[in-house]
Amino acid sequence: MQVTLTIDYAMWILTLLGKTTERINAATMSERLHIPRRYTIKILNRLKESGLVEVRAGVKGGYHLARGLDEISFGDVAKAMGQSIKISKCLEDGGGCTFGKKEECNARCFYQALQEKLEEGLFNVTLQEIQRP
């Protein structure tokens, strides 16, 4: 798994929303974060679909967090952006095993153990935990 530009931008957007109680529109976010407007809207739509942000239409409308930064993990953001958080293709659903012996594969056993550790730790780190003081 690699942190893509899309995940990076999503983290910026969520962090910006987490620093205010006001709703912010896509154009303002795009300007403040220097992200192309179309890309900002695309990311916001994914964040909305995943339940991480909410939107209100109208003059006083805009986006805001659906829950606090302390309740949004890095894994949530990666999943919302359509990124797998599996460290090896063989761990993906339907990813298959090159050797056809999933249960006997030492490499797969190693990746599975490592994946479990990552899910316990890194993927559960919340956005609140990574904020600067």
Digits of tens for pLDDT over the chain (133 positions)?
667 899 999 999 999 999 988 899 999 999 999 999 999 999 999 999 999 999 998 888 899 999 999 999 888 998 899 877 777 777 777 666 666 666 677 887 888 888 888 777 777 778 777 765 5
* CATH top class, domain 5-124: mainly alpha
Q: Is the separation of the CB atoms in 85 and 79 below 8 Å?
A: yes
- Dist. CA 106–CA 126, nearest whole Å: 32
Q: How far is the C-alpha of 1 from the C-alpha of 125, rounded, in Å?
A: 16
Residue 52 pLDDT: 96
Sequence spans of domains, the chain:
5-124
Q: What is the pLDDT of residue 122?
A: 73
Residue keyed to tokens 């949004």: 72
Q: Are 13 and 43 in contact (CB under 8 A)?
A: yes
pLDDT of residue 101: 62
Angle at 20 between CA 27 and CA 7, to 5 degrees: 60
pLDDT of residue 119: 77
Q: What is the pLDDT of residue 40?
A: 96
Residue-by-residue DSSP string for the chain: ----HHHHHHHHHHHHHHT-SS-B-HHHHHHHHT--HHHHHHHHHHHHHTTSEEEE-STT-EEEESS-GGG-BHHHHHHHTT----SSGGGSTT---TTS-GGG-HHHHHHHHHHHHHHHTGGG-BTTTT---
